């Protein structure tokens, strides 16, 4: 690929990624799966690495997130809520570890923390004299939405810090999530009320947190897990693992899967252990996160233009993907019950090639309005039969055809 071809491709990739960011972060209506988004971003990063002169300040690779909504008051983060680099393979993780050790000037194994990468909504909580005074979403990393009234309804977040030892001002950052079981109950309730159901727990958490009426937020089963600190008027701890213990003492719930590990091999073992337990976890996760534990070492490593050098997300295989419905067939069971089955353009989901997905029954087919030619979200969790979660209406072609159950 020559420079002119690369420039044209970069323009297209930026447009696709910017649109995906807007729909994901602002509209809460994503049109790209996580895996598809990661592939586009990685392609753009590779292009800009090959042709550095193509990098622009407006490129998604130079940004942190997306613009906040105007329906909420805007807050400015005193310290940016940065995004995080991804490691999509063992090789990429080892390369990250090598860069960390080189940056610290050591050949010894580095002490890392390992934790779940919750698939929720990132927020920053500001406490003054121990009292929660402000809560904001990540937004574009520099400005976010003021969701203080809604966050105050989340019982996992203390309105007043427990114990003592907290500085006059401290910001606690973490993830707002909905447990899988509660998400399923919430969707059942939405169906009972003939209201829109949520595609996944992350969307339900985002939709719940963004309610203008905090009474609706209060009725939703939101939870919170801290994953870091923002600004503080005085040091809280010397390392991240100590900070987590301090946050627990202040009344926050920390993940039981938080670990301190030594070296990249221990990181890989943690990744394998969590991946093996993924289907039994009560929360949706899309990977694990490793961070240099020592805060002084983090200061030495610093940041790139968009992410910390001292942290990385080690992603799991995607459990949701987008693909096209090529046909719909009627499957007749042993008892004579007819089940509509979508014939799909082959797609990799959770490391398995999926070519068919259940549409369950006629009511479900009509409720989701799945048509031949539609681009759909396909989900596969564990050994569960792949299912069509929903339709990406924006991608519906003019010739998409309805399918009717045989009589």
Q: Which residues pair with 379 in a beta bridge?
A: 320, 387
284 — phi, psi (to 5°)?
-75, 130
| Residue 74 DSSP one-character state | E
H helices of 51-153, where?
90-104, 148-151
Please state the three-class secondary structure of 183-215 as a single string. Answer: HHHHHHHHHHCCCCCCCCHHHHHHHHHCCCCHH
How far, in Å, are 81, 140, 403 from residue 62 at the CA level?
14, 11, 45
- Is residue 269 among the annotated active site residues? no
Tokens of 293: 């534990």
Two tokens at 245?
């213990």
Identify the active-site residue in 12, 117, 160, 248: 117
Bridge partner residues of 352 (DSSP): 349
Tell me the β-bridge partners of 325.
344
3-state helix, strand, coil in the chain (%, to 5): 35, 30, 40
Would you say 325 and 344 are in contact if contact means Cβ atoms under 8 Å apart? yes
Taking CA atoms, 245 is separated from 178, 221, 241, 249, 386, in Å, by 23, 25, 6, 6, 40
Q: In angstroms, rounded to a whole number, what is the distance separating the alpha carbons of residues 320 and 378?
A: 5
Q: What angle do CA 193, 31, 8 make, to 5 degrees?
A: 165
Our measurement of the distance from residue 353's CA atom to the centroid of its chain's CA atoms, rounded to an integer in Å, reads 23
Residues 6+ apart with CB under 8 A from 268: 90, 93
Nearest Cα to Cα of residue 29 among 144, 145, 217, 199:
199
Q: Tell how far CA 333 is from the center of its chain.
A: 38
What is the rounded distance in angstroms from the CA atom of residue 50 to the CA atom of residue 132? 46
Q: Please identify every residue annotated as catalytic.
A: 117
């Amino acid at each position: 690929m020559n420079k002119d071809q690369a420039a044209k491709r970069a323009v297209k990739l930026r447009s696709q990624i910017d649109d995906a960011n807007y729909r994901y972060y602002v509209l809460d209506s994503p049109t790209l799966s996580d895996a598809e988004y990661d592939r586009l971003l990685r392609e753009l990063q590779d292009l800009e690495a090959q042709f550095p002169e193509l990098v622009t300040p407006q490129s998604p690779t130079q940004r942190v997130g997306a613009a906040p909504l105007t329906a909420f008051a805007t807050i400015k983060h005193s310290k940016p809520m940065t995004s995080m680099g991804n490691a999509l393979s063992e090789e990429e993780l080892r390369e990250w570890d090598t860069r960390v050790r080189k940056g610290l000037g050591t050949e010894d194994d580095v002490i890392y923390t390992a934790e779940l990468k919750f698939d929720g909504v990132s927020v920053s909580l500001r406490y003054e004299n121990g009292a929660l005074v402000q809560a904001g979403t990540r937004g574009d990393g520099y400005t976010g939405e003021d969701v203080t009234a809604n966050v105050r309804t989340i019982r996992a977040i203390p309105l007043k810090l427990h114990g003592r030892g907290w500085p006059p001002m401290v910001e606690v950052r973490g993830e707002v999530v909905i447990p899988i079981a509660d998400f399923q109950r919430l969707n059942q309730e939405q169906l009972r009320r003939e209201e829109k159901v949520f595609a996944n727990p992350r969307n339900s958490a985002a939709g719940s947190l963004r309610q203008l009426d905090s009474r609706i937020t209060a009725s939703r089963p939101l939870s919170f897990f801290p994953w870091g600190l923002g600004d503080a008027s005085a040091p809280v701890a010397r390392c991240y693992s100590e900070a987590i213990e301090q946050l627990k003492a202040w009344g926050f719930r920390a993940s039981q899967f938080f670990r301190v590990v030594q070296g990249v091999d221990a990181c890989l073992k943690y990744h394998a252990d969590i991946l093996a337990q993924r289907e039994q976890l009560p929360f949706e996760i899309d990977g694990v996160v490793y961070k240099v534990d020592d805060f002084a070492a983090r200061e030495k490593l610093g940041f790139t233009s968009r992410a910390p050098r001292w942290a990385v997300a080690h992603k799991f295989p995607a459990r949701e993907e987008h693909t096209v419905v090529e046909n719909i067939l009627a499957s007749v069971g042993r008892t004579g019950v007819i089940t509509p089955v979508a014939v799909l353009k082959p797609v990799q989901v959770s490391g398995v090639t999926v070519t068919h997905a259940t549409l369950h029954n006629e009511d479900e087919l009509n409720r989701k309005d799945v048509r031949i030619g539609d681009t759909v979200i396909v989900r596969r969790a564990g050994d569960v039969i792949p299912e069509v979660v929903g339709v990406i209406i924006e991608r519906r072609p003019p010739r998409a055809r309805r399918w009717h159950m045989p009589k």
